[in-house]
A and B are shown apart, each in its own frame.
Chain A
């Protein structure tokens, strides 16, 4: 939808870094002198993991803030994800508790010195911190904690569907990080150098990351986040608009479409965010509103011409169904034009108590009229002013290639989406201004029986009603045109189809059409096969066994062992199950087995884990209230030291 940096770009780069995270330091260290000492590799990786997990806790807090309160009002889907958000937040806090923050690491995770051992993790943490910042550009927080929307994307960012998609992402990051960390922590060919305690702590943190992922996957199985919702999350741009510009005389169709989209977005921002207070602002004037209404009429008219042109082009390309759809859109655009003209004419009998100011949204409407006009007409220097005859652009030059249709459809879709929002916003403004007694009429326009010794008089109610009715009509008809074009945009996979998904996300529904309604596969493809073999299978791998039959038997043995442990755990008395994760993972064999169970996302597996005993050095401020509660419950294990493992 825009040419700006998006959340998806940052996330994709972070994912790539997380794939690199387990490459041994010597391979990464080239060009990064001095190389990390061998003995400190796990420690340094743990530092990187701590920075990554810290950033993930920011996301978890945001997710819980949105999803958790929703549970009380909407059961079913929202309850499931709300519960998952709390589980995820607890799991990430548990993971963080096992990753000792290094004393020198006082800085923010986004401001990192990349070091060889933790380089990819640090890079991922920095990218995800930037992503977190990007999402937060859409809101401002007042000193009293009130959150204000700063863009039209703000409601999307905090919408439940997008927040659920973000939680799905969080699960993916946790899984990737856990797999890499555990591979490094446990003995084997991929293990790095570090003390047994360091590796044990890192492995336990990874187990909690798997618990997070497991909870998310369980929610995804029952109430899936869709591909479209993940796509919407990834499409969220940084909150910065394209600069205001007007078209030159040598623009291509592509650049005219982009200019139209940018201009439309700027108007929506101005109409939604830069709103004058209708009760007293001098920026609310009849001059401004009537100008916007006139521009709305011209924009609708230009879009109607464009849609007719596209319909002709679709017919030329032997796409009769598309041609019929576009003709229907053109008819809807004509209706919107009638609605806007009614609004413009209603102002011809009205005034306001202030004059001489044009609001930002109204001023920018002139630009959109110009951009759409340059697209619709053949004259590259077209303006609304009367001049030589204005032939419309021929259909084949509007969309020379079939693929070009979607670009023009997207531009028209954005323009009508903007008109729809503008009409709604102006209707609200006018209603409030009327309530405040700011709508007037020239006294001369009143019949003689009115004896008012002033140039303006309060507007009679019938004129106010007429004005509001006209705007209601413009809003309704613009929305109908938007809806009609949205259908075409979705069919053509035009970039603007995200507008429909965003609208559905913020209104609590889902798009009527099927696009993107398939469940997302953990955001980046099908669920991979378990990245962790069980201990028996791993041992055979280490021995160089490659026979599929033998490895399959080993995997079966590992699974039987896991089932045996899980079944045994269920039969234990409550006081016997009060074991800490580090205790369960004290030996390499059990650690591998638990890792394998968690990595396969067995919902039963996470039941054997219990919240951690934070390390003694953990400060009170780094432990959440919920963790404190668990600590008090299992505090008798605080003094148990994890058994040290031998160096690999």
Chain B
């Protein structure tokens, strides 16, 4: 989960729409990896993580459709999908992911109001909705 902290820092400090979208894409990807690792039917959080996984993938796809998303930086982002996930219990991991998705929803909602192109605004709004959904599913309180 340490990579989540890095992504969180990138989100907090991203300036400009391209940088924010770039950080948001990576945030959804990292959340997806962490969520998938915790889809364990023996825990009471199984349903929440399963539903959150679908939302994370859809959020990532929404960001990917934004015209201002910069091309992938060199280094083959496909490799980053298989980062090791931490050994935190499901509830603790859920709390970290809920906090990240809350921040993500907030930043994307702000971005959807910026004077950008329609494609970017729609992409940000859709992605923000999915981030808010993840936040709710994992026990967080998305900002209205």
Q: Do A and B come from one complex?
A: yes
A interface, size bucket: 35 or more
Complex contact A385–B137 (CB within 8 A):
yes
Whether, in the assembled complex, B76 has its beta carbon less than 8 Å from a beta carbon of chain A, the answer is yes
Q: How far is the CA of A443 from the CA of B61 in the complex (A)?
A: 10
Contact residues of A between 444 and 466, Cβ < 8 Å to B: 444-448, 453, 455-456
Contacts of B122 in A (CB 8 A): 356
Interface membership of chain A positions 285-300, coded 1 if the CB is closer than 8 angstroms to chain B and 0 otherwise: 0110011011101100
Interface membership of chain B positions 34-66, coded 1 if the CB is closer than 8 angstroms to chain A and 0 otherwise: 001001010011111011011011101110111
Whether, in the assembled complex, B126 has its beta carbon less than 8 Å from a beta carbon of chain A, the answer is yes
Complex contact A387–B139 (CB within 8 A):
yes
Complex contact B72–A384 (CB within 8 A):
no
Q: How far is the CA of A281 from the CA of B113 in the complex (A)?
A: 29
Minimum CB–CB distance from A349 to chain B (whole Å) comes to: 8
Contacts of A298 in B (CB 8 A): 46-47, 50-51
Contacts of A455 in B (CB 8 A): 64-66, 69
Complex contact B77–A384 (CB within 8 A):
no
Interface membership of chain B positions 64-82, coded 1 if the CB is closer than 8 angstroms to chain A and 0 otherwise: 1110010110101110010
Contacts of B57 in A (CB 8 A): 286, 290, 347-349
Nearest B residue to A288 via CB reads B58
Complex contact B72–A443 (CB within 8 A):
yes
Whether, in the assembled complex, A373 has its beta carbon less than 8 Å from a beta carbon of chain B, the answer is yes
Q: How far is the CA of A444 from the CA of B76 in the complex (A)?
A: 8
Contact residues of A between 339 and 371, Cβ < 8 Å to B: 341, 344-345, 347-349, 351, 355-356, 369
Minimum CB–CB distance from A377 to chain B (whole Å) comes to: 9
Q: How far is the CA of A294 from the CA of B122 in the complex (A)?
A: 24
Contact residues of B between 65 and 111, Cβ < 8 Å to A: 65-66, 69, 71-72, 74, 76-78, 81, 91, 94, 98
Complex contact A386–B91 (CB within 8 A):
yes
Whether, in the assembled complex, A390 has its beta carbon less than 8 Å from a beta carbon of chain B, the answer is yes
Complex contact A448–B76 (CB within 8 A):
yes
Complex contact B78–A446 (CB within 8 A):
yes
Nearest B residue to A442 via CB reads B64
Whether, in the assembled complex, A389 has its beta carbon less than 8 Å from a beta carbon of chain B, the answer is yes
Complex contact B41–A337 (CB within 8 A):
yes
- Known contacts A293-B54, A294-B54, A344-B54; A389 and B44 CB within 8 A of each other: yes
Complex contact A445–B77 (CB within 8 A):
yes
Whether, in the assembled complex, B138 has its beta carbon less than 8 Å from a beta carbon of chain A, the answer is yes
Complex contact A290–B54 (CB within 8 A):
yes
Q: How far is the CA of A445 from the CA of B26 in the complex (A)?
A: 11
Complex contact A294–B50 (CB within 8 A):
yes
Nearest B residue to A290 via CB reads B54
Contacts of B46 in A (CB 8 A): 298, 301
Q: How far is the CA of A302 from the CA of B50 in the complex (A)?
A: 13
Contacts of A286 in B (CB 8 A): 57-58, 61
Nearest B residue to A304 via CB reads B41
Complex contact A386–B126 (CB within 8 A):
no
Contacts of A287 in B (CB 8 A): 58, 61
CB-contact partner of A385 in B65, B71, B81, B136, under 8 A: B136
Interface membership of chain B positions 109-126, coded 1 if the CB is closer than 8 angstroms to chain A and 0 otherwise: 000000000000010001
Q: How far is the CA of A24 from the CA of B139 in the complex (A)?
A: 74
Contact residues of A between 375 and 392, Cβ < 8 Å to B: 384-387, 389-390
Contacts of B137 in A (CB 8 A): 384-386
Contacts of A356 in B (CB 8 A): 62, 122, 126
Contact residues of A between 417 and 448, Cβ < 8 Å to B: 442-448
Complex contact B58–A444 (CB within 8 A):
no
Complex contact B61–A345 (CB within 8 A):
no
Contacts of B41 in A (CB 8 A): 301, 304, 334, 337
Minimum CB–CB distance from A56 to chain B (whole Å) comes to: 54
Minimum CB–CB distance from A382 to chain B (whole Å) comes to: 9
CB-contact partner of B48 in A295, A351, A386, A443, under 8 A: A386
Q: How far is the CA of A301 from the CA of B48 in the complex (A)?
A: 12
Q: How far is the CA of A293 from the CA of B55 in the complex (A)?
A: 12
Q: How far is the CA of A443 from the CA of B70 in the complex (A)?
A: 11
Minimum CB–CB distance from B11 to chain A (whole Å) comes to: 17
- For B53, B91, B137, the residue with the greatest tally of chain A CB atoms inside 10 Å of its CB is B53
Minimum CB–CB distance from A415 to chain B (whole Å) comes to: 15
Whether, in the assembled complex, B24 has its beta carbon less than 8 Å from a beta carbon of chain A, the answer is no
Minimum CB–CB distance from B85 to chain A (whole Å) comes to: 14
Minimum CB–CB distance from A203 to chain B (whole Å) comes to: 70
Nearest B residue to A382 via CB reads B47
- Known contacts A385-B139, A386-B94, A446-B78; A348 and B51 CB within 8 A of each other: no
Contacts of B48 in A (CB 8 A): 384-386
Nearest B residue to A452 via CB reads B71
Q: How far is the CA of A386 from the CA of B61 in the complex (A)?
A: 24
Complex contact B25–A348 (CB within 8 A):
no
Task: List residues of chain B with CB under 8 Å of any chain A CB.
Answer: 25, 32, 36, 39, 41, 44-48, 50-51, 53-54, 56-58, 60-62, 64-66, 69, 71-72, 74, 76-78, 81, 91, 94, 98, 122, 126, 136-139
A384-B50, A443-B64, A455-B65 are known; give 20 further A-B pairs, CB within 8 A. Answer: A287-B61, A290-B58, A295-B51, A337-B41, A341-B39, A344-B53, A347-B54, A347-B57, A351-B64, A373-B47, A384-B51, A385-B48, A385-B137, A386-B48, A386-B137, A386-B138, A387-B139, A390-B44, A444-B77, A448-B74
Could you name 18 residue pairs across A and B whose Cβ atoms are closer than 8 Å? A293-B54, A297-B50, A298-B51, A301-B47, A347-B57, A356-B122, A373-B47, A384-B51, A385-B137, A386-B91, A386-B98, A386-B137, A387-B139, A389-B44, A444-B25, A447-B78, A448-B78, A456-B65
